[in-house]
Structure 1
Amino acid sequence: MNAIIEWFTANFTLSDLPGWLGLVFGGTSLLVSWRNLSWAKRSAVANEKAADASVRSANAAEKAAAYNELTSHNVSARESSTSTAPDVSWTIEHFRNAAYVLINSGSQVATGVTADATPFGGLARELPKDAAVRAGGQHRFLLVETWQKAAPREMWLTWDGQDEPVAVPMPYPTRG
């Protein structure tokens, strides 16, 4: 170790000290600026991602606001148009083989219940025609499916107080 100290003191004078200090400080500042540059690049990428996310969020908020406005308008229009119509809702369940059950799942009796037979193309029998179905009541009908003609997946119903047809989804028959 003494040899190193002697060599250093013999080769370097005190006048070289400011140069060496400048080299150390310059190297340190170069290292710090290089790290800051990499951090700035990371920050720019993160800011770009945040900006894209904020644009997507704003678009989603606009869509949600438009949807809410549309649905509230539709609900108010529907409420005003169906204020005289009784509270009737429908479900269809597959009973067995070709038999299905139309169920009034509402809280009021539905009178004048009529199903549009056109989509069934002669495959359906005993469809409701000017029928009355009480709340929780049922109306059974038959739907024969053939290889040549697929059965529709919805039934269009009208009843007293509901002049515009309402689509009721039909379940797929269960086999077995």
Structure 2
Amino acid sequence: MDLGDVTALLALALSAGAFVVSIKARGDGKKSAAASATSAEASVRSAVAAEEALALQRREAEAVAEARRPRVLLSIVRVNGDTYRIQNDGELLANNLQFEEDGLPAVHTLRDDGPISLNGGEAHSFLMAGSAANPIPAQIRVSWDGQETPVAVRVNR
């Protein structure tokens, strides 16, 4: 074996070592790419969770603001005999109260006084008499300016 063979063997050994190192580096590269993909997925999940938490906080803040908003809170109370009183126990003006006819007894004076508007804490007395065929209802549906969909107001007897 001469000096040229030794160099060739040394070059073969070095190339075999480089081949082993490159295979190991390839495996490490795949592991790194997989870790990168896992990290990216975790980042996406984290961002989605943060967006959901923010949306929940916004909904909670809107609910708190809605709960604090001044409201119209109507009630109907029997005062004496056929005399009743509709009152606004809320804080907001109930302007131009409208009563659904189909829920009212045949005898009532809710429309006789003209448009009814009640500030918070105010009340309006009216007469309402039932009969066997058309008794006093358990509730009357009322709407007002700003509340176009009628709201059922319980009649406390």
For 2:96 and 2:110, locate their aligned partners in 1 and report how far apart those are by CA, in whole Å. Answer: 15
Aligned residue among 129, 137, 142 for 1:152: 137
| Secondary structure of 1:118 counterpart | helix
Aligned residue identity for 1:144: A
Q: Is 1:134 equivalent to 2:80 in the alignment?
A: no
| Secondary structure of 2:125 counterpart | strand
Q: Is 1:162 equivalent to 2:147 in the alignment?
A: yes
Task: Give deviations 1:102-150, integer Å, cap 9, x for gaps.
Answer: 0000012211211112222422223476321111001111111222322
Aligned residue identity for 1:143: M
Aligned residues of 1:155 and 1:170 also touching (Cα < 8 A): yes
Q: Is 1:104 equivalent to 2:88 in the alignment?
A: yes
Instruction: Give the total of aligned pairs.
Output: 93
RMSD: 2.5
Structure 2 gaps of 5+ residues are: 1-58
Aligned residues of 2:71 and 2:91 also touching (Cα < 8 A): yes
Aligned to 2:101: 117
Aligned residue identity for 2:136: A
Aligned residues of 2:105 and 2:128 also touching (Cα < 8 A): no
| Secondary structure of 2:131 counterpart | coil
Aligned residues of 1:115 and 1:129 also touching (Cα < 8 A): no
Aligned residues of 1:114 and 1:129 also touching (Cα < 8 A): no
Aligned residues of 1:112 and 1:129 also touching (Cα < 8 A): no
The TM-score, its normalising length taken from structure 1, stands at: 0.46
Aligned residues of 2:105 and 2:137 also touching (Cα < 8 A): no
Aligned residue identity for 1:155: I
For 1:159 and 1:149, locate their aligned partners in 2 and report how far apart those are by CA, in whole Å. Answer: 25
Task: Give deviations 1:68-116, integer Å, cap 9, x for gaps.
Answer: xxxx89x95xx5xxx7xx5111111111110100000001221121111
Q: Using the aligned pairs only, state the percent identity.
A: 23
Aligned residue identity for 1:167: A
Aligned residue among 67, 74, 82 for 1:90: 74
